[in-house]
Amino acid sequence: MRIDIVAAIPESIESYLDYSIIKNAREKNLIQIYLHNLHDYSANKWRRIDDYPFGGDAGMVIQCEPVFNCIEKLKSEVKYDEIIFLTPDGELYNQDIANELSLKSNIILLAGHYKGIDQRIRDSLITREISVGDYVLTGGELPALVLLDSIVRLLPGVIGDATSALNDSFQDGLLEAPIYTRPSVFRGMEVPKVLLSGNHKEIEEWKYQQALEKTKKFRPDLLKDRF
């Protein structure tokens, strides 16, 4: 899989790529990640990529030219399945979308900055717009990392125990059941006996019931179409 990230400040993303799951995936050649600095695609001698918005609004807007120059160059070299713009007014990201994107071959993530990007970029180049939540961040670099991390960990061979990702919260529409490790007793607090029983059927039933109760308590919205 290949993911290209186009950003105003790619340096804020770069260091994260050298740690943990993403580092392992790159070393195994399971993922290719390329960072592209929008300033490198500006024809302005000061490498400027933004300007004031028409209409008198406050803030600065990323211009068409650097984004078109960058993405058109990439598209001339690679066939992309999705060109995704990270924006607060996009579709809300969830595990189902992460699962779907993990099956793609080539993706571009466009991380906006400042007030946003010129609408003509969205109209002409973008195939999908995604939000990581109903709030506003300074830039799209952090959301790009959220998508990157959530996608990469699903790729076959990235996580040592493949079932680990399949048991995460949201994979089956429920929050994950409580988890425990050694010691079985800590400061008088005991691990539920069923988890120590070795009875896999009872353990799975316990996990399901716990996941259901947890979801009812913290995310009842996830259950509205379940029953």
Closest Cα to residue 120, out of 23, 54, 57, 174? 54
- Please write the tens of the pLDDT for every residue from 117-134: 999 999 999 999 999 999
Residue 129 resides in a domain: yes
Closest Cα to residue 62, out of 39, 80, 45? 39
* Same domain, yes or no: 65 and 138: yes
* Same domain, yes or no: 53 and 131: yes
pTM of the predicted structure, to 2 decimals: 0.86
* Same domain, yes or no: 141 and 192: no
Q: Quote the CA–CA distance of 73 and 6 in Å, as a whole number.
A: 12
User: Cis link prior to 178 (omega < 30° from 0)?
Assistant: no
Count of domains forming the chain: 2
* Same domain, yes or no: 77 and 178: no
For residue 170, the model assigns a pLDDT of 65
Could you count the other beta carbons within 10 Å of the beta carbon of residue 89? 10
- Please write the tens of the pLDDT for every residue from 58-103: 889 999 999 999 999 999 999 999 999 999 999 999 999 999 999 9
For residue 57, the model assigns a pLDDT of 85
Q: Quote the CA–CA distance of 83 and 68 in Å, as a whole number.
A: 12
Residue 159 resides in a domain: no
- Please write the tens of the pLDDT for every residue from 47-70: 999 999 998 888 899 999 999 999
Residue 158 resides in a domain: no
Residue 206 resides in a domain: yes
* Same domain, yes or no: 98 and 135: yes
* Same domain, yes or no: 27 and 90: yes
- Residue 114 contacts residue 59 (beta carbons within 8 Å): yes
Amino acid at 169: S
φ, ψ (nearest 5 deg) of residue 52: -70, 145
Question: The CATH number of the domain where 62 resides is what?
Answer: 3.40.1280.10
Q: Quote the CA–CA distance of 92 and 97 in Å, as a whole number.
A: 9
Range of the domain at 174: 167-223
